[in-house]
């Protein structure tokens, strides 16, 4: 079974950077698929943030483009989210999810990790 | 950015009832590559992670019961549950994949009386 698990600090100060890790087990992130970050705000709105594909190419939500970076460590089968200059509006539950580049749907999600931005 | 509107945030119905959940897009979701509409329905049960329910507007994901029916075209899409069961309690949300950024509807929470 493919499993995704998010990890990282639950509290970040405003203006700092938010860094999260998604650890993937049961499937190599270099084999296929795009590996995504999605967040759910209080109030339940979902926002797709971006992905890194199996080849290493990235795609980002234009609303975040100046602040976001998604990278990976193929030796650890992990991918990462960095979001710079956070504000309280970045408080959300962050999910990693797998996207089928040909099937075109999210088929596996992590359980999510809640990040609060507060001083 | 494509905006998806699910106008009904919650529904409470009795088991066995037929339910329709609407999702409206502000743009045509037709992909010229295969002449299909780029609309997915997800089911998010309490305490679980989301799972795909319907892909390409009307294709049931593997293992999804046939009481779940996806339909629609252009900008108007519908998820129908022909006879709601207790295990269908969940939030149902639509998502488009025609253009980056992928976007989601606000979700419709289904509860059983």
**Tens digits of residue pLDDT in A56-112:** 999 999 999 789 999 999 999 999 999 999 999 999 999 999 999 998 999 999 999
Q: Which residue of A has its CA nearest to B108?
A: A44
Phi-psi sector, B85: left (phi>0), alpha (psi -120 to 50), beta: beta
Is 90 exceeded by the pLDDT of residue B60? yes
Average pLDDT, stretch A20-45? 96
Q: Backbone phi, then psi, for B88, in 5-degree steps?
A: -90, 0
Query: What confidence score (pLDDT) does residue A65 get?
Result: 79
- Which of B49, B97, B102 shows the shortest C-beta gap to A111? B49
Percent of chain A with pLDDT over 90: 95
Percent of chain B scoring above 70 in pLDDT: 100
Listed in sequence order, the residues at least 6 apart from A16 whose beta carbon sits closer than 8 Å to its beta carbon are A86
Question: What Cα–Cα distance (Å) separates residue A5 from each residue in A20, A119, B21, B33?
Answer: 10, 27, 31, 34
Residue of B1, B52, B107 with shortest CB distance to A107: B52
- The band of B24, judged by pLDDT with boundaries at 50, 70 and 90, is very high
CB of A36 closer than 8 Å to CB of A22: no
**Beta strands A68-73 and A78-83: pairing type?**
antiparallel
Percentage of chain B beyond pLDDT 90 is 99
Whether residue B14 lies within 8 A of chain A, CB to CB, comes out as no
């Amino acid at each position: 079974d493919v499993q995704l698990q998010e990890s990282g600090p639950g509290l970040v100060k405003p203006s700092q950077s938010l860094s999260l890790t998604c650890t993937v087990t049961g499937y190599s992130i270099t084999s296929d698929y795009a590996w995504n970050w999605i967040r759910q705000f209080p109030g339940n709105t979902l926002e797709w943030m971006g992905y890194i594909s199996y080849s290493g190419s990235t795609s980002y939500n234009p609303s975040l483009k100046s602040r976001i970076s998604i990278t990976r460590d193929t030796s650890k089968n992990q991918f990462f989210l960095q979001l710079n200059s956070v504000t309280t509006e970045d408080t959300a539950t962050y999910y990693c999810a797998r996207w089928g580049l040909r099937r075109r749907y999210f088929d596996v999600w992590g359980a999510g990790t809640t990040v609060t931005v507060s001083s | 950015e494509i905006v998806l509107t699910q106008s009904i945030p919650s529904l409470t119905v009795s088991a066995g009832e037929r339910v329709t959940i609407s999702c409206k897009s502000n743009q045509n979701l037709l992909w010229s590559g295969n002449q299909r509409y780029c609309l997915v329905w997800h089911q998010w049960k309490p305490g679980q992670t989301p799972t795909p329910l319907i892909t390409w507007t009307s294709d049931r994901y593997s293992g999804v019961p046939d009481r779940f029916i996806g339909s629609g075209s252009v900008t108007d899409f519908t998820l129908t549950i022909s006879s709601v069961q207790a295990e269908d309690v969940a939030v149902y949300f639509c998502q488009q994949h025609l253009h980056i950024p992928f976007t989601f509807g606000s979700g419709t929470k289904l509860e059983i009386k």
